[in-house]
Structure 1
């Protein structure tokens, strides 16, 4: 089997790493793997790679988005070039991760997929594909996506439009563009997103849930004294938060509020902050920039007494899985698919915005037996979220589609 995946990043960020690891699993099974990726956000890869676009095209596409709310309508010439490359490679199966990301023209790409009649797996990592604008809508409690978007309350959220609201036209055009691919199966990483898809204009496609996976060889309980010493954590009770980009929607404000409720025995440590954000942290909070050093990140997860994820919008965050794999219990807001990663033995779920509830949950976990949590968290990661198992689910799906054996779950 010759597999070609399309990803907004190459082996960086959660989505890029998922595509890379699926490719590696395909090659392990004797298949051939290609990954097409945006020029912005690229790491190394073991697959054969195709670069899509350049910085000028990226920023031109971003301009169309910011001014005219035309995300997914730019990058025409580079999408046509990608299609010529796909035709040259002639893959047996095409796997698509985010179409959005300022690098593809959705109309051109999906017109090709309809004409090519190849097996296609489209993984939805958020809600953008079935809304008129936004990637998530629960933050503003909007359900217009069920019948037809208009007057978008999240116009300035990613992918932000500063001026024009084109959500009504975008919704109608996406419904036409994304439907009609004969041999397409949708994948979502969470049951939460699958339920939303089943209520959307994409409900006619076969749908499968494949959870995100984690590298349990890298993310594992490790000796923590070096990390605590390096960052001056000492013997404080360490509350860890990790995000690719910190914002109010990812819970940064929740940590600031939480810091005011904690006693001096606690320390909040955040990974993924910008320099300006670090400079504005309260005294009982510390932070570092995003790190691609996964060994150090595993050390931070292992050093933490508890991992807290107070996100206001999310699908199936891999940070929860990384924490579990390192033996660290997870506390999360009841957001999207985030609670699906844990059970009663591995963490706690708190209502959105309940910072007092976060504090109580932290105290409950910190005052419990750490070793019991460590064992249960690690076992849950190994049983359900090993990347090898979840990536194999994708390869199984590709092989079944190629054999013509897929159907709705």
Structure 2
């Protein structure tokens, strides 16, 4: 089977990492998979990206142009918003490979134009990594819910107009995609429910297939050795917070974590617990977190991630909206329990008080209660860790997930 997978990147961002893992998994089960990207970060010859310096520069320019243009709209500042308006030649590039299936993933940042979808001649699968495919341009809707009708008055754009950019983007999608056969795959039950309730996808076939992970790469290692590798204390409880732009992206929930850590400190945990942050460097004026903080910056290799997951006693994932978090999946695979709010795809992976703790959404007190509950009993912690690893081995092994996709492709070609 000849497959083309479309994703803006192959290594930058959570969707890219999950998609590239699936690409390698599909090749392992016999699929002739090629991954086509706007910007390439790996040296994998089965990933098709810009061929020369000029094409690489043009790809960077496209991304910057798209992001700057979105910021020109009144009130839009930080949240990602993608109008997907730039012309591109994606369909002709795909056609050269004569694929049996075209499989889309995260295709923003100037890689894909909305009107291109109807030009593909092959069956289409679209795996959702956020809400963008069925909204008027936002990637997470901040609970506005207007994607269920026709968008407009977009809170991400801080717009007060019914006929704003989000309404126009939604209308382009409705017009261009009407009658185009698409099988939608959500990686979490929450995102599947959102897609089924949306005005754009409510009549589509929607399946749920989670992200997979190589459980032989992401596995527990000696906590003592892991801490020694990064010169982290052996005699403290370590809480890990890992996210892209961990302290600057409001959706990742750093504001709730900071308050929860203050509550823990007031309860006597400040002197025996320290925080490790992946995805941020130490600011000139560090935030007050109620305890010592180790800033690890951005990590670019899997070994470093495994080491730090193994070094931690618990991972905090206080996102406000989240699909199927790579951080949670990786942490559990390394045997580290996770505390998160009971939102999005978190309940898919975290079984409350079984392999972690699901806190009441956006209540720092319960987030703190969950972290203390995980840490306070050594015997219980060992059981939680064992169950965390077991969860991933049973539900998310990469080759099993790849075979589920293969079965889906085969059913579409019958």
TM-score (norm 1): 0.88
Q: Distance in 2 between matches of 1:67 and 1:266?
A: 44
In the other structure, the counterpart of 1:380 is 391
Q: Could you list the runs of 5+ residues in structure 2 that have no partner in the other structure?
A: none
Q: Distance in 1 between matches of 2:308 and 2:205?
A: 40
In the other structure, the counterpart of 1:99 is 107
Give the 3-state SS of the residue equivalent to 2:48 in structure 1: strand
Give how far 1:216 is off.
Answer: 0.9
Q: Distance in 2 between matches of 1:277 and 1:186?
A: 44
Deviation per residue, 1:65-99 (Å, 9 max, x gap): 222598344331xx22x222212211111110112
Q: Is the 8 A contact 1:190 1:211 kept in 2?
A: yes
In the other structure, the counterpart of 2:65 is 60
In the other structure, the counterpart of 1:268 is 275
Alignment of 1:172 onto 2:171: yes
Q: Could you list the runs of 5+ residues in structure 1 that have no partner in the other structure?
A: 404-409
Deviates more, 1:282-291 or 1:42-51: 42-51
Deviation per residue, 1:91-130 (Å, 9 max, x gap): 11111011222322121x11312xx1x1111011111121
Deviates more, 1:194-203 or 1:29-38: 29-38
Q: Distance in 2 between matches of 1:357 and 1:73?
A: 40
Q: Distance in 1 between matches of 2:84 and 2:362?
A: 36
Deviation per residue, 1:256-285 (Å, 9 max, x gap): 222322221111111111443884454522
Alignment of 1:71 onto 2:82: yes
Deviation per residue, 1:10-33 (Å, 9 max, x gap): 134322223223322332233322
In the other structure, the counterpart of 1:336 is 344
Alignment of 1:365 onto 2:374: yes
Give the 3-state SS of the residue equivalent to 1:62 in structure 2: helix
In the other structure, the counterpart of 1:188 is 186
Q: Distance in 2 between matches of 1:126 and 1:30?
A: 28
TM-score (norm 2): 0.87
Q: Distance in 2 between matches of 1:372 and 1:29?
A: 34
Q: Is the 8 A contact 2:82 2:138 kept in 1?
A: no
Give how far 1:351 is off.
Answer: 1.5
Residues 315 and 278 of structure 1, relative CA distance in 2, 3 Å threshold = farther
Give how far 1:43 is off.
Answer: 2.3
Q: Is the 8 A contact 1:332 1:339 kept in 2?
A: no
Q: Distance in 2 between matches of 1:101 and 1:258?
A: 34
Residues 281 and 94 of structure 1, relative CA distance in 2, 3 Å threshold = farther
Residues 313 and 278 of structure 1, relative CA distance in 2, 3 Å threshold = farther
In the other structure, the counterpart of 1:5 is 5
Q: CA RMSD in A?
A: 2.2
In the other structure, the counterpart of 1:299 is 307
Q: Distance in 2 between matches of 1:119 and 1:312?
A: 34
Q: Is the 8 A contact 2:186 2:207 kept in 1?
A: yes
Q: In structure 1, which of residues 129, 139, 142 is the aligned counterpart of residue 144 of structure 2?
A: 142
Deviation per residue, 1:144-177 (Å, 9 max, x gap): 2211211111116xxx9xxx94112222222222
Q: Distance in 2 between matches of 1:215 and 1:236?
A: 30
Give how far 1:46 is off.
Answer: 4.9
Deviates more, 1:186-195 or 1:292-301: 292-301
In the other structure, the counterpart of 2:155 is 153
Residues 220 and 352 of structure 1, relative CA distance in 2, 3 Å threshold = same
Count of aligned pairs between the two proteins: 386
Q: Distance in 1 between matches of 2:86 and 2:172?
A: 17
In the other structure, the counterpart of 2:119 is 112
Q: Distance in 1 between matches of 2:17 and 2:43?
A: 10
Deviates more, 1:193-202 or 1:276-285: 276-285
Alignment of 1:198 onto 2:196: yes
Deviation per residue, 1:216-253 (Å, 9 max, x gap): 11111101223323233331111111112222210111
Q: Is the 8 A contact 2:84 2:112 kept in 1?
A: yes
